[in-house]
């Protein structure tokens, strides 16, 4: 890190702080703090929620995974594209949830099931979330210490103090400032700027690496992997542990089952201007993800080459020596790719990458602090109250809850010893809630026969399986069932339990029109009709009355893009099952794949910048002029609540 690099980092941080300060006057109600006044357009939602879910820890986790998986696992990732397309173009879960106008998921649970279940689900969701969130500060702090070459300890008033907790305190303090200043409004605006910056830097990094690294060296390093643990040919991966075909298959199922189950960015679920904008934000996500997906794939492969090819022995030795004193294999695994980049990148780009990681750290921490703190108040504490908070009290207790979450994750990061890969830790801790909540959410939004008893049974089943898995892995780190598999077991068992209990219990039919504000319960202005009766063909492809011509173009482009890669996967699978395909041929395919993705990623950046700044202008105008309702705070009155 030179003066140029540090200048870039502090300039980006200053810009983020200024954007938060500028948004301070826009926050005037509890609904503003929780859901940005439901004023965000599709591009703002897409970019901001995307970077909020990304985070420094997610970047490190994906770099760690693909260092092990190589090109091979990306082939199986193509199968996820079709499922993701179906989820997004249909508005699966998110469209109906936005129709409910609930501010949090557990508020929906009270409306659909009961107040007692809301409290129970809120507690499970909160506990799952903060345990999952618990390692975020530690992973981020270690990156900055080792990548930036910071000293491991500093002297303060003659005392030798570890740098690790100090870095965590500084980073968490910045994130807290963002949340306290303007709630979800400040978060969503800051995350938009951070998201655009990160996408640009990712593409620049990729262009630099493409231009400087020898493709022959990449092939030679990858081809030297064991025969049945190939990093090139996806049909020779039977010996790959953890990040294999089954990992991706479970992930595909989880996309459908777990839609909106994870509440780390729950503020975005209610922040869209309408259900249609929420749906379109999800559809655009597949384009927004192109720069990061490409970086997550290619950079670890470059790192693997440098760590294993004889031409880069000096760098490899330097990286291995830097992590040799760390006593945790999991931590050493996290630092390998970032340390390779610290040797590979030139001045300026090193600073840009650190600025990316800083922006990603802050964007995830401010969103997650906001989400888990809000869930604690909205879904655990508020349901016990007979009367709602005053707006001033409400904002005060929300900030106190957010501060509590920050203190908890700081303490957890200091004390917890990580024994699994990051993504496997995410899977098993997230499954405490997500293992059972998928059945409860989908059943509640789409099935009028789903009952409160079934919701209780499904949630208890999923959380029990996940907690059991965590305990087992603390006792036996190399247990043969990993975190992803425990998640799969939880999903299957919870679904069976939910359906069985609903069918065998007392027959109840929920009023879905009232829940979703349809028919006589419709709210004026929620649905903007473009064409009164869409043609049957458009409806078949998930395009209804609210779709403009450009909306339809986006949908069709999604179908073509995903359909083309699905055909490539099908044809490639048939050919590989009937012919022996060489590693050289596969490398030629991967090179073409990378160039196509990179070219489209550049186009996407310009497209989303234009759409995003237009949305930002509209959002600011709405927040300045809209009339607030102080009763819109997530409190459910006895008269409006469905009883058990």
Residue 417 has pLDDT above 90, yes or no: no
User: Which structure tokens are listed for 551?
Assistant: 């909306």
Q: Rounded mean pLDDT of 157-178?
A: 89
Per-residue pLDDT tens over the stretch 119-155: 888 888 888 888 888 888 988 898 898 888 888 888 8
In a domain, 32, yes or no: no
Question: Any alpha helices (H) in 113-238, and if so which ranges?
Answer: 115-133, 136-147, 163-212, 215-223
Residue 502 has pLDDT above 90, yes or no: yes
Q: What is the pLDDT of residue 176?
A: 92
Q: Rounded mean pLDDT of 405-428?
A: 80
Q: Are residues 363 and 179 in contact, defined by beta-carbon separation less than 8 angstroms?
A: no
Q: What is the pLDDT of residue 643?
A: 39
DSSP H or E stretch at residue 448: none
Q: Rounded mean pLDDT of 582-589?
A: 90
Residue 642 has pLDDT above 70, yes or no: no
In a domain, 274, yes or no: yes
Q: How confident is the model at residue 442 (pLDDT cuts 50, 70, 90)?
A: very high
Residues 6+ positions from 183 with CB-CB distance below 8 Å:
27, 32, 33, 34, 36, 370, 395, 398
DSSP 8-state secondary structure symbol assigned to residue 162: E
DSSP helix/strand/coil, 161: strand
Q: How confident is the model at residue 52 (pLDDT cuts 50, 70, 90)?
A: confident
CA gap 345, 303 in Å, rounded: 12
* CATH classification of the domain holding 496: 1.20.1730.10
Residue 499's domain comprises 3-24+41-528+582-625
In a domain, 591, yes or no: yes
Reported pTM:
0.78
In a domain, 117, yes or no: yes
Computed over its alpha carbons, how large is the radius of gyration of the chain? 24
Q: Rounded mean pLDDT of 563-578?
A: 89
Residue 195 has pLDDT above 80, yes or no: yes
Q: Rounded mean pLDDT of 557-583?
A: 88
In a domain, 641, yes or no: no
β-bridge partners, 162: 153
Q: How confident is the model at residue 229 (pLDDT cuts 50, 70, 90)?
A: confident
In a domain, 286, yes or no: yes
Per-residue pLDDT tens over the stretch 170-179: 999 999 998 8
In a domain, 610, yes or no: yes
Per-residue pLDDT tens over the stretch 273-329: 887 888 888 888 878 888 888 888 888 898 889 988 888 888 888 888 888 877 677
93-107, 257-271, 491-505, 523-537: which is most confident: 491-505
Quickly tell me which residue has 């594209």 as its tokens.
81
Q: What is the pLDDT of residue 602?
A: 92
Q: What is the pLDDT of residue 614?
A: 92
C-alpha distance across the termini of the chain, in Å: 60
Max intra-chain CA distance, the chain? 76
CA gap 500, 512 in Å, rounded: 21
In a domain, 390, yes or no: yes
Where are any strands of DSSP class E within 102-255? 153-156, 159-162
What's the number of domains the chain is made of? 1
Share of the chain above pLDDT 90, in %: 19
CA gap 371, 469 in Å, rounded: 25
Average pLDDT taken over every residue of the chain: 83
Q: What is the pLDDT of residue 539?
A: 62
Task: Say what the alpha-carbon torsion angle 358, 359, 365, 368 is, to the nearest 10 degrees.
Answer: -160
């Amino acid at each position: 890190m030179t003066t140029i690099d540090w200048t870039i980092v502090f300039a980006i941080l200053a810009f983020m702080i200024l954007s938060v300060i500028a948004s301070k006057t826009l926050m005037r109600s509890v609904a503003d703090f929780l859901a940005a006044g439901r004023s965000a357009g599709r591009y703002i939602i897409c970019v901001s929620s995307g970077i909020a879910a990304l985070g420094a820890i997610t970047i490190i986790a994906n770099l760690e995974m693909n260092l092990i998986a190589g090109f091979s696992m990306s082939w199986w990732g193509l199968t996820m594209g079709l499922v993701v397309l179906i989820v997004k173009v249909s508005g699966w879960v998110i469209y109906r949830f936005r129709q409910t106008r609930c501010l949090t998921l557990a508020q929906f649970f009270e409306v659909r099931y009961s107040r007692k279940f809301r409290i129970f689900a809120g507690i499970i969701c909160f506990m799952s979330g903060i345990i999952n969130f618990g390692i975020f500060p530690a992973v981020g702090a270690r990156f900055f210490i080792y990548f930036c070459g910071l000293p491991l300890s500093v002297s303060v008033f003659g005392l030798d103090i570890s740098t690790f907790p100090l870095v965590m305190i500084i980073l968490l303090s910045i994130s807290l400032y963002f949340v306290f200043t303007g709630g979800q409004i400040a978060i969503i605006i800051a995350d938009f700027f951070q998201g655009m910056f990160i996408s640009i830097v990712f593409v620049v990094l990729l262009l630099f690496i493409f231009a400087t690294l020898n493709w022959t060296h990449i092939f030679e390093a990858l081809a030297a992997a064991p025969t049945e643990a190939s990093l090139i040919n996806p049909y020779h991966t039977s010996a790959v542990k953890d990040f294999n075909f089954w990992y991706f298959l479970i992930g595909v199922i989880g996309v459908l089952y777990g839609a909106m189950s994870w509440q780390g960015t729950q503020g975005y679920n209610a922040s869209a201007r309408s259900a249609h904008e929420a749906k379109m934000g999800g559809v655009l996500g597949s384009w927004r993800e192109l720069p990061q997906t490409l970086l997550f794939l290619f950079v670890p492969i470059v790192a693997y080459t440098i760590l294993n090819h004889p031409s880069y022995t000096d760098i490899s030795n330097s990286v291995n020596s830097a992590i040799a004193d760390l006593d945790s294999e999991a931590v050493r695994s996290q630092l390998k790719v970032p340390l390779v980049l610290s040797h590979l990148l030139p001045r300026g780009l090193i600073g840009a990458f650190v600025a990316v990681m800083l922006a990603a750290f802050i964007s995830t921490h401010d969103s997650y602090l906001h989400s888990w703190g809000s869930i604690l108040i909205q879904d655990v504490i508020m349901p016990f109250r007979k009367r709602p908070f005053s707006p001033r009290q409400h904002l005060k207790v929300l900030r106190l809850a957010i501060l509590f979450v920050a203190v908890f994750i700081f303490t957890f990061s200091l004390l917890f010893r990580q024994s699994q890969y990051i993504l496997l830790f995410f899977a098993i801790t997230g499954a405490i809630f997500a293992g059972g909540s998928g059945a409860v959410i989908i059943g509640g939004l789409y099935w009028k026969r789903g009952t409160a008893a079934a919701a209780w049974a499904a949630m208890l089943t999923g959380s029990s399986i996940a907690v059991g898995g965590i305990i087992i892995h603390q006792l036996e780190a190399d247990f043969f069932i990993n975190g992803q598999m425990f998640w799969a077991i939880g999903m299957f068992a919870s679904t069976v339990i939910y359906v069985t209990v609903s069918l065998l219990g007392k027959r109840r039919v929920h009023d879905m029109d009232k829940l979703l504000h349809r028919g006589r319960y419709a709210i004026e202005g929620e649905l903007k009709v473009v064409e009164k009766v869409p043609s049957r063909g458009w409806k078949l492809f998930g395009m209804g009355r609210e779709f403009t011509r450009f909306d339809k173009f986006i949908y069709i482009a999604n179908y073509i893009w995903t359909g083309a890669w699905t055909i490539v996967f099908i044809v490639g699978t048939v050919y590989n099952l009937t012919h022996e395909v060489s590693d050289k041929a596969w490398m030629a395919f991967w090179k073409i794949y990378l160039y196509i993705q990179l070219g489209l990623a550049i186009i996407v950046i310009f497209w989303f910048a234009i759409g995003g700044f237009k949305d930002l202008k509209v959002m600011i105008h709405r927040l300045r002029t809209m009339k607030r309702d102080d009763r819109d705070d997530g409190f459910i009155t006895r008269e409006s609540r469905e009883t058990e």
